[in-house]
Amino acid sequence: MEQTQTVWALGDYHRFARELVWGFGPALVQACEISAGERVLDVAAGTGNVALRAALEGAIVVACDLEPAQFEAGRREAAAAGVEIEWVQADAQALPFADGEFDIVTSAAGAIFAPDHQAVADELTRVCRPGGTIGLLTFTPEGMAGDFFALFDPYVPPPEQRPIEWGVETHVRELFGDRVSALEMTRSSYVESRPGGPQAFLDFYKATFGPMVALYGALDEARGAELDRAALEFVRRWDRGTGDAAELPVEYLLIVARRA
């Protein structure tokens, strides 16, 4: 695969993940009941949020991502944890693995950003063995994430399929169809918290979250100021903090499917 830089190479995704969403890994590993000796593929793995936790359980883990810039931080984390992970550059819509190669296939808020949802579902299903498990963590449109993605709408062309659609149960059922024999979807939530209040929360996203870094970099001063006002209003709208920290609740959908 030709190595091309994506928006996820901008900012500091590892810092973003460690400080806001690092709890995704344990949640998905527990939901998929990952154990020693199982072959696990984590798709759109980033810096190893799920892959590291699976490896700590003794699984044989491959972590793949379209953006290889994330692998260096992932390798550091794996070395510090004393585990081995194979890192592979790969597109979630065209995975370079054999049919049924893995016992468990996961993705935590990663593969949802690929533009062709059906291609992703097809590939996740294809590389999972019959009777194996597919586990995903996605965001719901009714929660904070849906409102967050809407911030981008006035500034970028709308995608044919939005990442947030992976948080709609009927959409997920249609994507997998009868290729899964069981499909369990559970709504839950976590809190994104940053000290310093709403402005500090927004500044953290602007410095670390690649898509936001890319968007601000493409806007002129006036449009950037307009986005700042809308984004700060968004943070204040969702902030439930009572002290000097901003605390935004985020609803997510935990999906666990059994390959037919």
Identify the pLDDT of residue 160: 85
Per-residue H/E/C for the chain: CCCCCCHHHCCCHHHHHHHHHCCHHHHHHHHCCCCCCCEEEEECCCCCHHHHHHHHCCCEEEEEECCHHHHHHHHHHHHHHCCCEEEEECECCECCCCCCCEEEEEEECCHHHCCCHHHHHHHHHHHEEEEEEEEEEEECCCCHHHHHHHCCCCCCCCCCCCHHHHHCHHHHHHHHHHHEEEEEEEEEEEEEEEECHHHHHHHHHHHHCHHHHHHHHHCCHHHHHHHHHHHHHHHHHHCCCCCCEEEEEEEEEEEEEEEC
pLDDT exceeds cutoff 70 at 156: yes
Percent with pLDDT over 70 in the chain? 98
Contacts of 251 (CB under 8 A, 6+ apart): 139, 140, 142, 143, 144, 145, 167, 187, 188, 189
pLDDT exceeds cutoff 90 at 75: yes
> Cβ distance 142 to 227 under 8 Å?
no
pLDDT exceeds cutoff 70 at 2: no
How does pLDDT run across 132-145, given as a tens digit for each residue? Answer: 999 999 999 999 99
pLDDT exceeds cutoff 70 at 3: no
pLDDT exceeds cutoff 60 at 53: yes
Identify the pLDDT of residue 4: 52
Q: Give CATH for domain 7-142+151-191+249-259.
A: 3.40.50.150
In whole angstroms, what separates CA 98 from the centre of its chain? 23
How does pLDDT run across 164-173, given as a tens digit for each residue? Answer: 999 999 999 9
pLDDT band at 238 (very low <50, low <70, confident <90, very high): very high
Identify the pLDDT of residue 159: 84
Q: Across the chain, what does the average pLDDT equal?
A: 96
Identify the pLDDT of residue 37: 98
